Amino acid sequence: MLQEVAVIHATLPIRAPVPAIVNDHNRLRLFSGSANVPLSMEVARYLGLDLGPMVRKRFADGELYIQIQESIRGCDVYLIQPSCHPVNDNLMELLIMIDACRRASARQITAVIPYYGYARADRKTAGRESITAKLVANLITEAGASRILAMDLHSAQIQGYFDIPFDHVYSLPVILDYLTSKNLSDIVVVSPDVGGVARARAFAKKLNDAPLAIIDKRRQAHNVAEVLNIIGDVKDKTAVLVDDIIDTAGTICKGGRLLREQGARQVYACATHAVFSPPAIERLSNGIFEEVIVTNTIPFNEEKNFPQLRVLSVANLLGETICRIHEDTSVSSMFR
């Protein structure tokens, strides 16, 4: 059973929904794929809506069947479906949902993708490789999506792979709200690699201009990284490691261990997307971190739980973004 792990709902500095606008049932429709139904239900609750009725089943040969069970002609449809594990099944389900809505004459189809799978395959690093993130963008566009809403892309350039409007939102307010409530002192924000410096710098700026440190690492192969050195002062400080994805947790655990060796008093790990591929749980629960703070863009079950885990909900943030898109008001102003 999904969503057995306790989810913390941060108090975000965003307004409450306006039912007279959000409940415009002549236009706004919200549907959920099977990838993360609990998150979709939370988003619907924030908007004051019910998830639209839909039939989803598999045939004996594994093919997927989807039917929208209400009229959406002329409606603005929002389809919530992260392309997490099993990524290919969830991606195909999203494509079929988009196609069904397009053929049902929806006015606008927004694919809400809290976690964008294949985002790390965003460029060629060797000969004869696929840029799969671009391929996925082509598939979603060709299926009939007219807009994309995604959260914390691994690479911001993925927005440019789409020739349709793209709203890129961040979990930063949710994680910051939680950390602020803990009243931590002597914080230093740490980027796990040079590529994440911009993300860590933005995070540090919001944490009262906290100092920044960088872990210098060299990646030897896929899912294999060697941590070399820390650039910056972490001795006797509370180190907050900030990343977008925790997959096998090799990089972030090596970084956390090095921070301890360099004299950090406490070490917290923060990430938006908790992929948690084996052996991530064993690595993260071995006592390196005071807490591992993630969000619910990817669903959780009890098998992924461990004492240091803290799961924050991004449902209100996504719901507010949907509301603003529907009302044609600013999305970026939420993050200023």
What total number of domains does the chain contain? 2
- What is the arithmetic mean of pLDDT over 266-272? 98
Range of the structural domain that residue 91 is part of? 11-170+316-335
Instruction: Please give the average per-residue pLDDT across 67-80, as a whole number.
Output: 97
Residue reference for tokens 């008093």: 265
In a domain, 1, yes or no: no
- Per-residue model confidence (pLDDT) at position 3: 45
Give the range among 22-26, 230-234, 251-255 with minimum mean pLDDT.
22-26
DSSP structure string for 183-216 = T--SEEEEESSGGGHHHHHHHHHHTTS--EEEEE
pLDDT > 80? residue 222: no
* pLDDT for the residue numbered 12: 58
* Distance (Å, whole) CA 67 – CA 34: 13
Q: Are residues 111 and 190 in the same domain?
A: no
Average pLDDT over residues 15-40: 76
> Does pLDDT of 243 surpass 90?
yes
Pick the more confident residue, 305 or 12. Answer: 305
Residues 33 and 142 both lie in one domain:
yes
Q: What pLDDT shows up at residue 8?
A: 82
Q: How confident is the model at residue 95 (pLDDT cuts 50, 70, 90)?
A: very high
- Catalytic site includes residue 205: no
Q: Indicate the average pLDDT of the chain.
A: 92
Share of the chain above pLDDT 90, in %: 84
Q: Could you tell me if residue 4 is inside a domain?
A: no
* pLDDT for residue 194 is more than 70: yes
Residue 217's pLDDT is 73
Q: Are residues 151 and 189 in the same domain?
A: no
Q: Model confidence at 302, in pLDDT bands (50, 70, 90)?
A: confident
Under the banding of pLDDT at 50, 70 and 90, the label for residue 1 is very low
Residues 222 and 140 in one domain: no
Residue 5 lies in a domain: no
**pLDDT category, 98, cuts 50, 70, 90?**
very high
Do residues 143 and 182 both lie within one domain? no
Lowest mean pLDDT among 30-34, 90-94, 181-185: 181-185
Q: Quick check: is 181 in a domain? A: yes
The answer to whether the CB of 161 falls within 8 A of the CB of 134 is: yes
Contacts of 252 (CB under 8 A, 6+ apart): 192, 241, 243, 246, 269, 271, 284
Shared domain check, 18 and 159: yes
The whole-number average pLDDT for the span 109-123 is 97
pTM of the model: 0.92
Does 145 lie in the same domain as 41? yes
Would you say residue 227 has pLDDT above 90?
Answer: no
Shared-domain flag, residues 289 and 321:
no
What CATH number does the domain containing 322 carry?
3.40.50.2020
142 with 200, same domain?
Answer: no
Identify whether 2 is part of a domain.
no
What does the alpha-carbon distance between residue 72 and residue 7 come to, in Å, rounded to a whole number? 32
* Per-residue pLDDT at 20 exceeds 50: no
Q: Do 205 and 303 fall into the same domain?
A: yes
**For residue 76, is it within any domain?**
yes
Cα dihedral sign for 104, 108, 110, 111?
A: positive
142, 16: one domain: yes
Calculate mean pLDDT across residues 315-327.
96
Let me know if residue 109 belongs to a domain: yes
Over the stretch 200-220, which tens digit does the pLDDT of each residue have? 999 999 998 999 999 987 666
- Indicate the SS3 state at residue 239: strand
Residue 23 reports pLDDT greater than 80 = no
59 with 23: CB under 8 angstroms? no
Of 134, 217, 237, 304, the catalytic one is 217
Return d(Cα 151, Cα 34) in angstroms, integer. Answer: 18
Among 58, 41, 143, which residue's Cα sits nearest to residue 97? Answer: 143
Q: Establish if 90 belongs to a structural domain.
A: yes
> Same structural domain for residues 94 and 222?
no
